[in-house]
Amino acid sequence: MGSVAFNLETCARPNIIALQPYRCARDDYKDDGTNTLLDANENSYGPSLSVDLSTNHEAGESTLRLAGLNRYPDPHQIELKQLLCDLRQSADSSTALKPDNLFIGVGSDEAIDSLIRCFCVPGVDKILVCPPTYGMYTVAAQVNDVEVVKIPLEVEGEAPSFDIQPTKIQAKLKDDPRIKLAYICSPGNPTGKLVDPVRLKTLLEYNWNGVIVLDEAYIDFAGNKESLAHWVNDYPNLVVMQTLSKAFGMAGIRLGLAFAPSGIARLLNNLKAPYNISSLTSALAIQAVSKPGLEVMRSHRELIIQQRERLVRELPQISRIGRFLGGYDANFLLVEMLDRPKSLDGRPDNKTAQAVYSQLAETKGIVVRYRGNELGCTGCLRITIGTEQETTKLLAKLEEVFREIP
Protein backbone atom coordinates (compact mmCIF):
# COMPACT_ATOMS: atom_id res chain seq x y z
CA MET A 1 0.00 0.00 0.00
CA GLY A 2 1.27 3.50 -0.69
CA SER A 3 2.19 5.96 -3.43
CA VAL A 4 5.44 4.63 -4.87
CA ALA A 5 6.46 7.91 -6.46
CA PHE A 6 6.65 9.85 -3.19
CA ASN A 7 10.19 10.63 -2.02
CA LEU A 8 10.51 12.73 1.13
CA GLU A 9 14.12 13.63 0.37
CA THR A 10 13.23 15.25 -2.96
CA CYS A 11 9.73 16.52 -2.11
CA ALA A 12 10.65 18.55 0.98
CA ARG A 13 12.72 21.71 0.65
CA PRO A 14 16.46 20.95 0.78
CA ASN A 15 17.04 23.50 3.57
CA ILE A 16 14.41 21.73 5.70
CA ILE A 17 15.94 18.31 5.08
CA ALA A 18 19.29 19.73 6.18
CA LEU A 19 17.86 21.66 9.14
CA GLN A 20 19.39 20.93 12.53
CA PRO A 21 16.66 21.61 15.09
CA TYR A 22 17.22 23.83 18.09
CA ARG A 23 18.36 21.75 21.04
CA CYS A 24 18.48 22.54 24.73
CA ALA A 25 20.37 20.86 27.55
CA ARG A 26 17.19 19.10 28.63
CA ASP A 27 17.15 17.19 25.36
CA ASP A 28 20.30 15.51 26.68
CA TYR A 29 19.56 15.46 30.41
CA LYS A 30 15.92 14.88 31.23
CA ASP A 31 14.61 16.72 34.27
CA ASP A 32 13.15 14.30 36.82
CA GLY A 33 12.16 17.06 39.24
CA THR A 34 15.27 16.77 41.42
CA ASN A 35 17.79 18.61 39.25
CA THR A 36 18.99 22.13 39.89
CA LEU A 37 18.12 23.81 36.60
CA LEU A 38 20.66 26.46 35.64
CA ASP A 39 20.75 25.86 31.90
CA ALA A 40 18.00 27.95 30.27
CA ASN A 41 18.28 31.40 31.89
CA GLU A 42 14.94 30.97 33.68
CA ASN A 43 13.87 32.85 36.81
CA SER A 44 14.36 30.43 39.70
CA TYR A 45 12.20 32.51 42.05
CA GLY A 46 9.04 31.60 40.20
CA PRO A 47 6.34 33.35 38.15
CA SER A 48 5.26 36.95 38.78
CA LEU A 49 1.79 36.11 40.08
CA SER A 50 -0.07 37.48 43.08
CA VAL A 51 -1.05 33.96 44.24
CA ASP A 52 1.06 32.70 47.15
CA LEU A 53 2.16 29.43 45.64
CA SER A 54 3.87 28.24 48.79
CA THR A 55 0.81 28.39 51.05
CA ASN A 56 -2.27 28.20 48.82
CA HIS A 57 -3.29 24.56 48.94
CA GLU A 58 -6.97 25.03 48.03
CA ALA A 59 -6.27 25.31 44.33
CA GLY A 60 -4.62 21.89 44.42
CA GLU A 61 -3.19 20.68 41.14
CA SER A 62 -3.80 23.95 39.31
CA THR A 63 -1.55 25.75 41.83
CA LEU A 64 1.18 23.21 41.24
CA ARG A 65 0.88 23.85 37.52
CA LEU A 66 1.25 27.58 38.13
CA ALA A 67 4.27 26.96 40.32
CA GLY A 68 6.11 25.56 37.32
CA LEU A 69 5.47 28.45 34.96
CA ASN A 70 8.95 29.86 35.48
CA ARG A 71 10.31 26.81 33.64
CA TYR A 72 10.13 26.30 29.89
CA PRO A 73 7.56 23.71 28.84
CA ASP A 74 8.34 20.23 27.61
CA PRO A 75 9.35 20.63 23.94
CA HIS A 76 8.39 17.06 23.03
CA GLN A 77 4.98 16.50 24.72
CA ILE A 78 5.41 12.71 24.80
CA GLU A 79 2.67 12.08 27.40
CA LEU A 80 0.13 14.10 25.42
CA LYS A 81 1.19 12.55 22.11
CA GLN A 82 0.78 9.03 23.47
CA LEU A 83 -2.74 9.81 24.67
CA LEU A 84 -3.61 11.18 21.24
CA CYS A 85 -2.18 8.08 19.56
CA ASP A 86 -4.23 5.86 21.88
CA LEU A 87 -7.35 7.86 21.01
CA ARG A 88 -6.95 7.47 17.24
CA GLN A 89 -5.50 3.97 17.08
CA SER A 90 -7.70 1.73 14.96
CA ALA A 91 -8.44 -1.90 15.70
CA ASP A 92 -8.19 -2.50 11.94
CA SER A 93 -4.59 -1.30 11.75
CA SER A 94 -1.71 -3.70 12.30
CA THR A 95 0.74 -0.85 12.94
CA ALA A 96 0.40 1.24 16.08
CA LEU A 97 0.46 5.03 16.03
CA LYS A 98 3.38 6.33 18.09
CA PRO A 99 4.47 9.75 19.39
CA ASP A 100 6.96 9.81 16.49
CA ASN A 101 3.91 10.12 14.22
CA LEU A 102 2.80 13.43 15.75
CA PHE A 103 3.37 17.14 15.40
CA ILE A 104 1.59 19.37 17.93
CA GLY A 105 1.06 23.04 17.17
CA VAL A 106 -0.73 26.22 18.13
CA GLY A 107 -4.04 25.25 16.60
CA SER A 108 -4.30 23.46 13.25
CA ASP A 109 -3.21 26.73 11.68
CA GLU A 110 0.39 26.11 12.77
CA ALA A 111 0.32 22.70 11.09
CA ILE A 112 -1.13 24.20 7.90
CA ASP A 113 1.61 26.84 7.80
CA SER A 114 4.42 24.47 8.80
CA LEU A 115 3.57 22.03 6.01
CA ILE A 116 3.77 24.83 3.45
CA ARG A 117 7.12 26.03 4.85
CA CYS A 118 8.39 22.45 4.85
CA PHE A 119 7.48 21.50 1.28
CA CYS A 120 6.93 24.67 -0.77
CA VAL A 121 9.66 26.98 -2.03
CA PRO A 122 8.26 30.55 -1.93
CA GLY A 123 7.54 31.96 -5.35
CA VAL A 124 8.07 28.55 -6.99
CA ASP A 125 5.87 25.78 -5.59
CA LYS A 126 2.10 25.57 -5.24
CA ILE A 127 -0.65 24.02 -3.14
CA LEU A 128 -3.97 22.59 -4.29
CA VAL A 129 -7.29 23.19 -2.52
CA CYS A 130 -10.86 22.02 -3.23
CA PRO A 131 -13.36 24.87 -2.76
CA PRO A 132 -15.62 25.48 -1.03
CA THR A 133 -13.21 24.82 1.81
CA TYR A 134 -11.48 26.26 4.87
CA GLY A 135 -9.97 29.66 4.09
CA MET A 136 -6.75 29.35 6.08
CA TYR A 137 -5.12 27.07 3.50
CA THR A 138 -5.15 29.97 1.05
CA VAL A 139 -4.18 32.56 3.67
CA ALA A 140 -1.15 30.50 4.77
CA ALA A 141 -0.12 30.01 1.15
CA GLN A 142 -0.33 33.75 0.44
CA VAL A 143 1.71 34.57 3.55
CA ASN A 144 4.40 32.18 2.29
CA ASP A 145 4.25 33.48 -1.32
CA VAL A 146 2.93 30.14 -2.58
CA GLU A 147 0.41 29.96 -5.42
CA VAL A 148 -2.96 28.28 -4.89
CA VAL A 149 -4.46 25.93 -7.49
CA LYS A 150 -8.18 25.16 -7.18
CA ILE A 151 -10.01 21.98 -8.16
CA PRO A 152 -13.58 22.43 -6.87
CA LEU A 153 -15.62 19.84 -5.07
CA GLU A 154 -18.52 18.40 -7.07
CA VAL A 155 -20.98 21.31 -7.08
CA GLU A 156 -22.84 20.70 -10.33
CA GLY A 157 -26.51 19.83 -10.53
CA GLU A 158 -29.52 20.44 -8.33
CA ALA A 159 -28.10 18.34 -5.48
CA PRO A 160 -24.31 18.80 -5.43
CA SER A 161 -22.39 16.02 -3.66
CA PHE A 162 -19.59 18.32 -2.41
CA ASP A 163 -17.17 15.39 -2.68
CA ILE A 164 -13.64 15.54 -4.07
CA GLN A 165 -12.98 14.82 -7.75
CA PRO A 166 -9.94 12.51 -7.85
CA THR A 167 -9.70 12.30 -11.66
CA LYS A 168 -9.55 16.08 -12.05
CA ILE A 169 -7.12 16.40 -9.15
CA GLN A 170 -4.83 13.74 -10.63
CA ALA A 171 -4.90 15.45 -14.02
CA LYS A 172 -3.86 18.74 -12.43
CA LEU A 173 -1.08 17.08 -10.42
CA LYS A 174 0.23 15.42 -13.57
CA ASP A 175 0.06 18.70 -15.48
CA ASP A 176 1.83 20.77 -12.81
CA PRO A 177 4.76 19.16 -10.94
CA ARG A 178 5.18 22.31 -8.84
CA ILE A 179 2.12 21.38 -6.74
CA LYS A 180 3.55 19.94 -3.52
CA LEU A 181 0.54 19.82 -1.17
CA ALA A 182 -3.16 19.04 -1.61
CA TYR A 183 -5.40 20.14 1.30
CA ILE A 184 -8.64 18.17 1.67
CA CYS A 185 -11.13 18.97 4.43
CA SER A 186 -13.20 16.03 5.75
CA PRO A 187 -15.79 16.68 7.07
CA GLY A 188 -15.70 19.75 4.90
CA ASN A 189 -16.01 23.35 6.04
CA PRO A 190 -18.50 24.83 5.14
CA THR A 191 -20.05 21.69 3.62
CA GLY A 192 -20.21 19.42 6.68
CA LYS A 193 -19.62 16.49 4.30
CA LEU A 194 -17.30 13.57 4.95
CA VAL A 195 -15.05 12.77 1.99
CA ASP A 196 -15.60 9.36 0.42
CA PRO A 197 -12.63 7.26 1.67
CA VAL A 198 -12.59 5.31 -1.62
CA ARG A 199 -12.01 8.57 -3.53
CA LEU A 200 -9.32 9.57 -1.05
CA LYS A 201 -7.59 6.21 -1.41
CA THR A 202 -7.58 6.73 -5.19
CA LEU A 203 -5.58 9.92 -4.66
CA LEU A 204 -3.22 8.34 -2.16
CA GLU A 205 -2.41 5.51 -4.56
CA TYR A 206 -1.62 7.92 -7.40
CA ASN A 207 2.08 8.18 -8.25
CA TRP A 208 2.88 11.73 -7.16
CA ASN A 209 5.79 13.27 -5.32
CA GLY A 210 3.67 15.42 -3.03
CA VAL A 211 1.65 15.28 0.19
CA ILE A 212 -2.09 14.82 0.77
CA VAL A 213 -3.18 16.77 3.85
CA LEU A 214 -6.49 15.56 5.30
CA ASP A 215 -8.06 18.06 7.70
CA GLU A 216 -10.25 16.19 10.20
CA ALA A 217 -11.16 19.08 12.50
CA TYR A 218 -14.79 17.87 12.74
CA ILE A 219 -14.26 14.10 12.58
CA ASP A 220 -15.74 13.40 16.03
CA PHE A 221 -19.16 14.57 14.86
CA ALA A 222 -19.27 12.16 11.90
CA GLY A 223 -21.38 9.44 13.49
CA ASN A 224 -19.68 6.06 13.58
CA LYS A 225 -17.08 7.02 10.98
CA GLU A 226 -13.64 6.86 12.58
CA SER A 227 -10.62 9.02 11.93
CA LEU A 228 -8.25 7.97 9.16
CA ALA A 229 -5.22 8.99 11.23
CA HIS A 230 -4.00 5.38 11.28
CA TRP A 231 -3.64 5.51 7.47
CA VAL A 232 -0.40 7.49 7.92
CA ASN A 233 1.30 4.16 8.60
CA ASP A 234 0.09 2.86 5.23
CA TYR A 235 0.74 5.87 2.99
CA PRO A 236 4.10 7.71 3.09
CA ASN A 237 2.61 11.00 1.84
CA LEU A 238 -0.48 11.37 4.04
CA VAL A 239 -0.84 13.89 6.86
CA VAL A 240 -4.02 13.95 8.98
CA MET A 241 -4.70 17.16 10.91
CA GLN A 242 -7.00 17.40 13.94
CA THR A 243 -7.77 19.87 16.72
CA LEU A 244 -9.06 20.11 20.27
CA SER A 245 -11.11 23.21 19.36
CA LYS A 246 -14.28 21.46 18.17
CA ALA A 247 -15.55 18.26 19.81
CA PHE A 248 -13.30 18.77 22.83
CA GLY A 249 -14.49 22.35 23.34
CA MET A 250 -10.93 23.62 23.96
CA ALA A 251 -10.70 26.38 21.34
CA GLY A 252 -9.23 28.77 23.91
CA ILE A 253 -6.06 26.75 24.45
CA ARG A 254 -5.20 26.73 20.70
CA LEU A 255 -3.95 23.19 20.25
CA GLY A 256 -3.89 21.36 16.94
CA LEU A 257 -2.06 18.29 15.77
CA ALA A 258 -0.92 16.46 12.68
CA PHE A 259 -0.50 12.72 12.41
CA ALA A 260 2.11 11.86 9.79
CA PRO A 261 4.60 9.22 8.74
CA SER A 262 7.56 9.53 11.11
CA GLY A 263 9.79 11.15 8.48
CA ILE A 264 7.34 13.99 7.80
CA ALA A 265 6.56 14.38 11.52
CA ARG A 266 10.29 14.69 12.22
CA LEU A 267 10.69 17.52 9.69
CA LEU A 268 7.68 19.38 11.12
CA ASN A 269 9.05 19.04 14.65
CA ASN A 270 12.50 20.15 13.49
CA LEU A 271 11.23 23.44 12.09
CA LYS A 272 8.82 24.40 14.88
CA ALA A 273 9.72 26.84 17.65
CA PRO A 274 11.35 24.85 20.49
CA TYR A 275 8.66 25.54 23.10
CA ASN A 276 5.60 26.20 20.94
CA ILE A 277 3.10 24.59 23.35
CA SER A 278 2.80 26.17 26.80
CA SER A 279 2.80 24.15 30.02
CA LEU A 280 -0.77 25.18 30.79
CA THR A 281 -1.96 24.28 27.29
CA SER A 282 -0.30 20.89 27.56
CA ALA A 283 -1.74 20.21 31.03
CA LEU A 284 -5.26 21.10 29.92
CA ALA A 285 -4.93 19.05 26.73
CA ILE A 286 -3.80 16.00 28.72
CA GLN A 287 -6.88 16.36 30.91
CA ALA A 288 -9.12 16.67 27.84
CA VAL A 289 -7.90 13.48 26.17
CA SER A 290 -7.57 11.40 29.33
CA LYS A 291 -10.36 8.95 30.25
CA PRO A 292 -12.44 11.42 32.35
CA GLY A 293 -12.05 14.11 29.70
CA LEU A 294 -13.12 11.75 26.93
CA GLU A 295 -16.26 10.88 28.88
CA VAL A 296 -17.15 14.58 29.10
CA MET A 297 -16.42 15.10 25.40
CA ARG A 298 -18.62 12.20 24.38
CA SER A 299 -21.44 13.39 26.61
CA HIS A 300 -21.29 16.89 25.12
CA ARG A 301 -21.03 15.47 21.61
CA GLU A 302 -24.24 13.52 22.11
CA LEU A 303 -26.03 16.71 23.18
CA ILE A 304 -24.74 18.50 20.09
CA ILE A 305 -25.87 15.68 17.81
CA GLN A 306 -29.33 15.78 19.41
CA GLN A 307 -29.61 19.49 18.65
CA ARG A 308 -28.28 18.95 15.13
CA GLU A 309 -31.05 16.40 14.55
CA ARG A 310 -33.57 18.82 16.03
CA LEU A 311 -32.55 21.56 13.59
CA VAL A 312 -32.75 19.12 10.69
CA ARG A 313 -36.35 18.38 11.74
CA GLU A 314 -37.52 21.86 12.68
CA LEU A 315 -35.72 24.33 10.42
CA PRO A 316 -37.60 23.17 7.28
CA GLN A 317 -40.87 24.05 9.01
CA ILE A 318 -39.94 27.71 8.46
CA SER A 319 -41.36 28.60 5.04
CA ARG A 320 -38.29 30.40 3.72
CA ILE A 321 -35.73 27.83 4.79
CA GLY A 322 -34.54 25.79 1.83
CA ARG A 323 -32.36 22.70 1.63
CA PHE A 324 -29.50 21.53 3.78
CA LEU A 325 -26.49 21.36 1.48
CA GLY A 326 -23.47 19.14 2.01
CA GLY A 327 -23.75 16.67 4.85
CA TYR A 328 -24.58 16.10 8.50
CA ASP A 329 -21.11 15.09 9.69
CA ALA A 330 -20.05 18.23 11.60
CA ASN A 331 -21.25 20.48 14.42
CA PHE A 332 -22.85 22.88 11.95
CA LEU A 333 -25.32 22.87 9.08
CA LEU A 334 -25.18 24.63 5.71
CA VAL A 335 -28.68 25.95 5.06
CA GLU A 336 -30.31 27.79 2.15
CA MET A 337 -32.29 31.02 2.71
CA LEU A 338 -35.08 31.51 0.15
CA ASP A 339 -36.24 34.72 -1.50
CA ARG A 340 -39.89 33.72 -0.93
CA PRO A 341 -41.72 30.79 0.70
CA LYS A 342 -41.25 27.26 -0.59
CA SER A 343 -44.94 27.15 -1.52
CA LEU A 344 -44.27 30.00 -3.97
CA ASP A 345 -41.24 28.28 -5.50
CA GLY A 346 -38.71 30.20 -3.43
CA ARG A 347 -35.11 30.07 -4.59
CA PRO A 348 -31.87 30.35 -2.61
CA ASP A 349 -30.83 33.98 -2.67
CA ASN A 350 -27.72 35.78 -1.44
CA LYS A 351 -29.52 39.05 -0.78
CA THR A 352 -31.95 37.25 1.50
CA ALA A 353 -29.17 35.31 3.21
CA GLN A 354 -27.22 38.53 3.86
CA ALA A 355 -30.33 40.20 5.27
CA VAL A 356 -31.03 37.26 7.59
CA TYR A 357 -27.38 37.15 8.66
CA SER A 358 -27.32 40.90 9.46
CA GLN A 359 -30.71 40.99 11.17
CA LEU A 360 -29.93 38.02 13.39
CA ALA A 361 -26.71 39.65 14.58
CA GLU A 362 -27.83 43.27 14.82
CA THR A 363 -31.33 42.92 16.26
CA LYS A 364 -31.66 39.39 17.65
CA GLY A 365 -28.30 38.78 19.31
CA ILE A 366 -27.46 35.67 17.25
CA VAL A 367 -24.31 35.43 15.13
CA VAL A 368 -24.11 32.83 12.36
CA ARG A 369 -21.87 32.76 9.25
CA TYR A 370 -22.78 34.01 5.77
CA ARG A 371 -21.38 31.62 3.15
CA GLY A 372 -23.36 32.65 0.05
CA ASN A 373 -20.28 33.74 -1.88
CA GLU A 374 -18.64 30.31 -1.60
CA LEU A 375 -18.73 28.06 -4.67
CA GLY A 376 -21.98 26.08 -4.77
CA CYS A 377 -23.35 27.76 -1.64
CA THR A 378 -25.68 30.41 -3.06
CA GLY A 379 -28.05 31.75 -0.42
CA CYS A 380 -26.44 29.77 2.38
CA LEU A 381 -25.78 30.42 6.03
CA ARG A 382 -23.56 28.14 8.09
CA ILE A 383 -25.18 27.60 11.48
CA THR A 384 -23.18 26.13 14.36
CA ILE A 385 -25.08 23.73 16.61
CA GLY A 386 -25.61 25.26 20.05
CA THR A 387 -27.23 24.23 23.31
CA GLU A 388 -30.91 23.34 23.59
CA GLN A 389 -31.68 26.87 24.77
CA GLU A 390 -29.64 28.43 21.96
CA THR A 391 -31.40 26.24 19.40
CA THR A 392 -34.82 27.29 20.72
CA LYS A 393 -33.78 30.94 20.53
CA LEU A 394 -32.43 30.54 16.99
CA LEU A 395 -35.66 28.98 15.69
CA ALA A 396 -37.81 31.71 17.25
CA LYS A 397 -35.62 34.56 16.03
CA LEU A 398 -35.43 33.19 12.50
CA GLU A 399 -39.24 33.24 12.37
CA GLU A 400 -39.16 36.88 13.51
CA VAL A 401 -36.51 37.87 10.96
CA PHE A 402 -38.40 36.37 8.05
CA ARG A 403 -41.49 38.36 9.09
CA GLU A 404 -39.42 41.54 9.07
CA ILE A 405 -37.48 41.26 5.80
CA PRO A 406 -39.02 41.55 2.30
- Other CB atoms within 10 Å distance of the CB of residue 317: 9
Find out whether 129 and 139 touch, Cβ atoms under 8 Å.
no
* pLDDT score recorded for residue 38: 53
* pLDDT score recorded for residue 68: 77
Q: Give the CA diameter of the chain.
A: 77
Of the options 1.10.645.10, 1.10.8.60, 3.40.640.10, 3.30.420.40, the CATH number for the domain spanning 8-21+73-289: 3.40.640.10
Which residues in the chain land under pLDDT 50? 55-60, 64
Find out whether 88 and 259 touch, Cβ atoms under 8 Å.
yes
- Which amino acid, one-letter code, is at 123? G
* pLDDT score recorded for residue 70: 84
Per-domain residue ranges for the chain?
A: 8-21+73-289, 25-71, 295-404
* pLDDT score recorded for residue 255: 95
* pLDDT score recorded for residue 36: 58
* pLDDT score recorded for residue 110: 97
d(C-alpha 275, C-alpha 255), whole Å: 13
Is CATH 3.90.1150.10 correct for 295-404?
Answer: yes
* pLDDT score recorded for residue 247: 94
CA dist 178 to 33, 123, 172, Å?
A: 49, 11, 10
* pLDDT score recorded for residue 56: 46
